[in-house]
Amino acid sequence: MINIIFLGLVSFFTDISSQMVYPIIPLYLVTVLGATPTLVGVIEGIAESLASLLKVFSGYITDRFQKKKALAFVGYASGIIYKLALLFAGTWVGILGARVVDRIGKGIRTAPRDVLVSESVDKHNLGKGFGLHKAMDMFGSAIGIFIAFLLLRNMSDNVDFKKIFIIAIIPAILGLCMFFFIKEKQASQEVKTEEPFWKNIKNVDRQLWLYLLVVFLFTLGNSSKVFILLRAQSVGFDTVNVILLFFIMNMTGSVLSMPLGKLSDKIGRKKLLVPGYLAFSLCYFGFAFAETEWMMVAVFIIYGAYTAMITGVERAYVVDITPPELKGTMLGLQSTISGIALLPASIIAGVLWDAYGAAIPFIFGAVLSLSAAIILIIFMKNVNPQVRSE
């Protein structure tokens, strides 16, 4: 668990840095650069999708060369370049370029980091391990968001966005320093034995292919979080206070991630993944119809619970049923599929918002999430270290 704590600290500091910036990017685009919701969706969708193409390749390289720590370090280092790029971005094109740099870094680091997490615990504690990492990750996000809130409030009406970008570089550097304490498990000779990629891929459980298909369907309705921020503004939250909603969401997820991950080790992954998708559906219906600020707060709490039920548990599930020599590849593929679907998802959400109003893209997402949950209920077998199938 010590290794996971240091990996968690990397994510903790990196997410402080990222979340100091992420909530204010759409505000910067809309209030300073005059972007529309559709353009915001296009920028986020392109950045996420282009970068996500790297995740499966990063995962494959992780499996092929076993340089997990080095790859993860390079990916996290891109966060510093991202903040510097934001400083010099004077148009939405510059913001798009900066976002692509940031997401490319995430594309590089995600798979090797997840493999490092999986190799730091035994198979009976995968959910607990991924849950602990996610808890630290989301706690860092919450701290970063709260710092952004304090900075924006103190700046009042004269928001100095670029000052925030500069301050955000500091925790990113601290995150990189944590790599000095991370130990990398060396692959056995058996795992490193070279086999044709397509020969190995045939050994992947069909249940995983089903789940990846469900992930794609679900993500088509799970558009960029910038739309959630804009929706919260539409019910009365101002530019500064809306950021506190993300703080509430991340604190909820941080508190719940480890106990829910540990629970999945005992009862199986399906029994948390299905409720997670149902919670997301409820959450998006809430975003669609919330008319008061307190209702919006409640929906953000549900969103945090959904994140705790899904993120770490689904990674543990992928590791559970993936051959050891393909762990990085399949973890990367799962992230790639999510990212690729996010481009049409964000464009669809922006177009629906502009054409039919703020509620429609959230209703669309809620219906797709409900459909994903139904598919899992009918076709997915329950998997945990003790119970291989129902």
Residue 249 to residue 300: CA distance in whole angstroms: 5
> 66 with 329: CB under 8 angstroms?
no
**Helix/strand/coil (H/E/C) assignment for every residue in the chain:** CHHHHHHHHHHHHHHHHHHHHCCHHHHHHHHHCCCCHHHHHHHHHHHHHHHHHHHHHHHHHHHHHCCHHHHHHHHHHHHHHHHHHHHCCCCHHHHHHHHHHHHHHHHHHHHHHHHHHHCCCCHHHHHHHHHHHHHHHHHHHHHHHHHHHHHHHHHCCCCCHHHHHHHCHHHHHHHHHHHHHCCCCCCCHHHHCCCCHHHHHCCCCHHHHHHHHHHHHHHCCCCCCHHHHHHHHHCCCCCCCHHHHHHHHHHHHHHHHHHHHHHHHHHCCHHHHHHHHHHHHHHHHHHHHCCCHHHHHHHHHHHHHHHHHHHHHHHHHHHHCCCHHHHHHHHHHHHHHHHHHHHHHHHHHHHHHHHHCCHHHHHHHHHHHHHHHHHHHHHCCCCCCCCCCC
Q: For 2-182+199-379, which CATH class?
A: mainly alpha
pTM for this predicted structure: 0.86
pLDDT of residue 200: 64
Q: For residues 83 and 325, what is the distance between their CA atoms, to the nearest angstrom?
A: 35
| CA distances for 163 relative to 31, 73, 160, angstroms | 17, 26, 6
Give the residue from 190, 185, 231 showing the smallest Cα distance to 40. Answer: 231
Given this model, what pLDDT does residue 389 score?
41
Ramachandran area for residue 236 (φ above 0: left; ψ -120 to 50: alpha; else beta): left
Question: How many C-alpha atoms does 368 have within 13 Å on its Cβ side?
Answer: 22
Place of tokens 């509430």: 248
- Residue 189 CB coordination number (10 Å): 7
pLDDT at 7: 96
The pLDDT assigned to 338 comes to 82
Give CA–CA dist 129/125, Å, rounded: 6
Residues in the chain: 390
- Tell the residue number behind the tokens 């993500």, with chain if given: 219
Q: What is the pLDDT along the chain (390 residues), one digit of tens a residue?
A: 789 999 999 999 999 999 888 777 777 777 677 767 667 767 776 776 677 777 888 888 888 888 899 999 999 999 999 999 888 887 878 888 888 888 888 889 988 999 999 999 988 899 999 999 999 999 999 999 898 888 877 766 666 778 888 999 999 999 999 999 999 887 654 544 455 555 567 777 888 889 999 999 999 988 777 788 888 888 888 877 888 888 999 999 999 999 999 999 999 999 999 999 999 999 999 999 998 999 999 999 999 999 999 989 999 999 988 888 888 888 888 888 887 787 788 788 888 988 998 899 999 999 999 999 999 999 888 765 555 444
Report the sign of the C-alpha dihedral through residues 248, 254, 256, 257, in that order: positive
Can you give the residue ranges of every domain in the chain?
A: 2-182+199-379
